[in-house]
Amino acid sequence: MNESSYGQRGGLSQGRLERLSRALEGYVERGEFAGVTAMLYRHGELAYAAATGWQDREAQIPMQRDTIFRLASMTKPIIAAAALTLVEEGKLRLSDPVDAWLPELAQRMVMRDPHGSPDDVYPSPRAITLHDLLTYRLGLGWGKTSLGPSLLTLTAAPIAQALQIPNAQRLAPDAWLARIGEFPLAYEPGTRWLYHIASDILGILIARVTRKPLEVALRERIFEPLGMVDASFVVPAEKRSRLAVLYGPAPEGGLAVLDHPQTTGWAEPPLFASGGAGLVSTANDYLRFGRMLLGKGVLDGVRVLSHKTVEAMTTDYLTPEQHTHATFAMSTTEMWANRGFGYGVQVVTKQTGFGPSVGTFGWPGGLGTAWYVDPQEDLVALILLQYQNAIVAADWRSTIGGDFLTLTYQAIND
């Protein structure tokens, strides 16, 4: 049967998409990953959905479209969107200092040498704004500074355990932010992109402004309007059978179990709901979030954000100088050579190969989750696998990421 006889959905050749299916199945058959879920949404319809392999390889429980995944840093775009709803309501302004809501961050000192002593400081020339937090340029975060190791220990449970971060502290949100407030800034606000910490701060900001727990604020502002029925910071007992086992590389080769549904750290509400990495969800749910952004803020007639807000969220704010910094110690190439950063999402600034178009946006998770919204191609692409080493420092460390994009884009047939 030739590929044209398969027909197409959403302008994607179903015959050519079989190449994608075979590739994903190959990763499972070779034992590189236990299971994979992938979805493609284009031209108003679900054009492809595959659940391959196992959500629990040892128990032989098949991967499903409603399998629950630990989103890790795919939490960050959701937090950014929730913060932007507060801007739309006039409760926050992008350019205003956040001192009134986050006094722990007021009157910052800045290190003279980001790699030197935290005691050698000078007063910050200005306050931290919401725009700084949304663009990860508050001056503090994961990255190549002398503060990096200490900040890493402040990663909240249970994501800290899933990422195998040693000596992680367990602090409630207010105590956590007070601890953050004890650090000087590594850079002046607005001058350098640094990872992760900003999203955890945004989660606390959202809770304080709404006067509601972060989970409740997200449910009211994002999850319920979009119909994201499984998105949460906790997996209740009645849903535990749908939670995928989290795997990672075993020292002797093969797969090691890092978090199991029967003993999962997501069984109970966390002490600190991490806006940077704490959520769980499904492919079905996150596709709805991506579709809302593809729809310029609207999904199924429900508007969550204005189209101008989505434009702002997906604009690259990094300066030319900031584009030259790899940021992560483990980055082997210049991280921002072909992409920039908006509000909680990276944005493709230069097409490489025949993958995502200029303007494509998204942000991956370090436990093997990634999504892409390509407005030029009217496409949402989503791939979820539960493997701790698949994505490191926002880049795929497995060829499955590149294969997924290549085999998605080669299937475009209109």
Q: Give yes or no for residue 303 having a pLDDT over 50.
A: yes
How confident is the model over 105-157, as pLDDT tens digits? 999 999 999 999 999 999 999 999 999 999 999 999 998 899 999 999 999 99
How confident is the model over 245-261, as pLDDT tens digits? 999 999 988 899 999 99
| Domain-wise residue ranges, the chain | 3-74+227-409, 80-210
259-273, 304-318, 388-402: which has the minimum mean pLDDT? 388-402
- Homologous superfamily of 3-74+227-409: DD-peptidase/beta-lactamase superfamily (3.40.710.10)
* Burial letters 260-282, b for 16+ CB under 10 A, else e: bbeebbbeeebebbbbbbbbbbb
How confident is the model over 364-375, as pLDDT tens digits? 999 999 999 999
Q: Which phi and psi (to 5°) does residue 349 adopt?
A: -105, -15
Provide the CATH number for the domain formed by 80-210 in this structure: 3.40.710.10
How confident is the model over 22-73, as pLDDT tens digits? 999 999 999 999 999 999 999 999 999 999 999 999 999 999 999 999 999 9
CA distances from 115 to 94, 120, 124, 137, 179 (A): 30, 11, 17, 17, 20
Residues 384, 365: Cα–Cα separation, whole Å: 9
Q: Residue 253: what pLDDT?
A: 86
Could you give the count of Cα atoms lying within 13 Å of 127 in the half-sphere of its Cβ? 16
Opening angle at CA 250, ends 249 and 256, nearest 5: 85
Contact residues for 37 (Cβ-Cβ < 8 A; gap 6+): 50, 51, 52, 63, 64, 65, 67, 69, 283, 382, 383, 384, 385
Q: Which phi and psi (to 5°) does residue 227 adopt?
A: 70, 35
Two domains, one topology: 3-74+227-409 and 80-210: yes
Going by their DSSP bridges, the two strands 298-299 and 280-282 should be labelled as unpaired
